Structure 1
Amino acid sequence: MAELTTRTRLGYSFGSFVTGAFGTVPGLLLLPYLTDTMAVPAALAGAIVLLPKAWDVLFNPVAGRISDAARLKHGSRRRFLLYGGIGVALCFAALFAHPGFGSVSADAAYVVVVFFLCATAFAFFQVPYNALPAEITDVYNERTRLTSWRIAVLALAILVSGAGAPAITDAVGGVPGYRVMGIAVAGLMVAGTIAVFFGLRGASVGELRGSTPRLRELVATMRAWKPFRWLLAVYFVQALGVGTLLAGVVYVARYVLDDSGMQSLLFAGFVGPALLVMPLWNRLGQRGGKLLGFRVASVAFGVALLGLIGARVLPVPVVFAFVALAGVGYAGIQVFPLAILPDLISAEEERTGETRAGIAAGVWTAAETLGLALGPGLFGLVLTFGGYVSTEGSTTVAQPDSAVAAIVLGFSAIPAVLILLGIPLLRRSVLDGSRQRSRVLEGRS
Structure 2
Amino acid sequence: MTDVLPRSTRIGYAMGSLATGAFGTVPGLLLLPYLTDNLGVTAAVAGLLVLLPKAWDVLLNPVAGRISDRTRSRWGPRRPYLLFAGVAMALSFAGMFAAPVEEPVWAAAVWCAAVFFLTATAFAFFQVPYVAMPAEITDGYTERTRLMTWRVAVLAVAILVSGAAAPLVVTATGGGITGHRWMGVFVAGLIAIGAIGAFVGTRSSPMSSPTANEPSLRAQLAIARRNRPFMILLTVFVVQTVGIATMLAGVKYVADQVIGRPDDGATFLFACFVGPALLVMPLWNRVGAAVGKNRSLAMAATLMAVAASLLVTAWWLPPPVVYLIVAVMGVGYAGQQVFAMAMLPDCIAYDTARTKRRQAGVFTGLWTAGETLGLALGPGVFAVVLTLGGYLSSAGETVTQPDSARWAILLGFTVIPAILIGPITALLSRYDLTETTMESVTANPPTDAALG
Partner amino acid, structure 2, of 1:113: A
Q: What does the per-residue CA deviation read over 1:69-125, in whole Å, with 9 as the maximum and x for residues that have no partner?
A: 114886331110001110110110001113325223322221221111100000111
Preserved contact between residue 382 and residue 406 of structure 1 (Cα < 8 Å)? yes
Aligned match of 1:258: 260
| Partner-residue secondary structure (3-state), 1:312 | helix
- The Cα shift of 1:212 comes to 4.2
1:194 to 184, 193, 196: 196
Distance 2:120 2:67 in 1: 16
Aligned match of 1:205: 207
- The Cα shift of 1:378 comes to 0.5
Q: What does the per-residue CA deviation read over 1:362-389, in whole Å, with 9 as the maximum and x for residues that have no partner?
A: 1000000010111001101100100100
1:433–1:54 CA distance, 2 compared to 1 (3 A): farther
Preserved contact between residue 55 and residue 376 of structure 2 (Cα < 8 Å)? yes
Distance 1:31 1:439 in 2: 48
Aligned match of 1:149: 150
Say whether 1:373 aligns with 2:376: yes
**Does 90-99 or 7-16 show the bigger shift?**
90-99
- The Cα shift of 1:193 comes to 1.3
Say whether 1:317 aligns with 2:320: yes
% same residue:
55
Aligned match of 1:339: 342
Partner amino acid, structure 1, of 2:7: T
Please list every run of 5 or more consecutive structure 1 residues that lacks an aligned counterpart in the other structure: none
1:20–1:167 CA distance, 2 compared to 1 (3 A): same
Partner amino acid, structure 2, of 1:80: Y
Return the TM-score normalized by structure 2.
0.95
Aligned match of 1:116: 117
Aligned match of 1:419: 421
**Does 65-74 or 88-97 show the bigger shift?**
65-74
- Describe how 1:56-205 pairs up with structure 2 within 5 A: 56-71=57-72, 75-172=76-173, 173-205=175-207
Distance 1:233 1:433 in 2: 18
- Describe how 1:393-432 pairs up with structure 2 within 5 A: 393=396, 395-428=397-430, 430-432=431-433
**Does 317-326 or 206-215 show the bigger shift?**
206-215
Distance 1:305 1:21 in 2: 23
Distance 2:336 2:72 in 1: 29
Aligned match of 1:13: 14
- The Cα shift of 1:275 comes to 0.2
Preserved contact between residue 227 and residue 347 of structure 2 (Cα < 8 Å)? no
Distance 2:236 2:72 in 1: 29
1:286 to 286, 289, 312: 289
Distance 2:185 2:102 in 1: 20
Distance 1:101 1:211 in 2: 49
Say whether 1:354 aligns with 2:349: no
Distance 2:23 2:349 in 1: 28
**Does 185-194 or 104-113 show the bigger shift?**
104-113
Preserved contact between residue 237 and residue 421 of structure 1 (Cα < 8 Å)? no
Q: What does the per-residue CA deviation read over 1:207-241, in whole Å, with 9 as the maximum and x for residues that have no partner?
A: 54223431221232123222111110000000000
Distance 1:207 1:421 in 2: 41
Q: What does the per-residue CA deviation read over 1:129-172, in whole Å, with 9 as the maximum and x for residues that have no partner?
A: 10001011010100001101100010001000000101111222
Q: What does the per-residue CA deviation read over 1:53-79, in whole Å, with 9 as the maximum and x for residues that have no partner?
A: 101111100000111111488633111
Aligned match of 2:366: 363
Distance 2:85 2:398 in 1: 37
Distance 2:311 2:168 in 1: 23
**Does 411-420 or 72-81 show the bigger shift?**
72-81
Please list every run of 5 or more consecutive structure 2 residues that lacks an aligned counterpart in the other structure: 446-452
Preserved contact between residue 65 and residue 128 of structure 2 (Cα < 8 Å)? yes
- The Cα shift of 1:422 comes to 2.1
Q: What does the per-residue CA deviation read over 1:40-59, in whole Å, with 9 as the maximum and x for residues that have no partner?
A: 00011011100011011111
**Does 380-389 or 431-440 show the bigger shift?**
431-440
- The Cα shift of 1:434 comes to 6.0
| Partner-residue secondary structure (3-state), 1:422 | helix
Preserved contact between residue 246 and residue 417 of structure 2 (Cα < 8 Å)? yes
Partner amino acid, structure 1, of 2:107: A
1:343–1:106 CA distance, 2 compared to 1 (3 A): same
Distance 2:215 2:333 in 1: 35
| Partner-residue secondary structure (3-state), 1:359 | helix
2:391 to 378, 388, 391: 388
Q: Following superposition, which runs of at least 4 residues in structure 1 exceed 4 angstroms of deviation? A: 71-74, 432-436
| Partner-residue secondary structure (3-state), 2:250 | helix
Distance 1:432 1:143 in 2: 14
- Describe how 1:23-42 pairs up with structure 2 within 5 A: 23-42=24-43
Preserved contact between residue 66 and residue 217 of structure 2 (Cα < 8 Å)? no
Say whether 1:237 aligns with 2:239: yes
Partner amino acid, structure 2, of 1:375: G
Distance 1:74 1:286 in 2: 34
Preserved contact between residue 95 and residue 182 of structure 1 (Cα < 8 Å)? yes
Distance 1:302 1:386 in 2: 23
**Does 369-378 or 93-102 show the bigger shift?**
93-102
Distance 1:256 1:98 in 2: 31
| Partner-residue secondary structure (3-state), 1:257 | coil
Distance 1:221 1:434 in 2: 22
Paired residues, what number?
442
Partner amino acid, structure 1, of 2:293: K
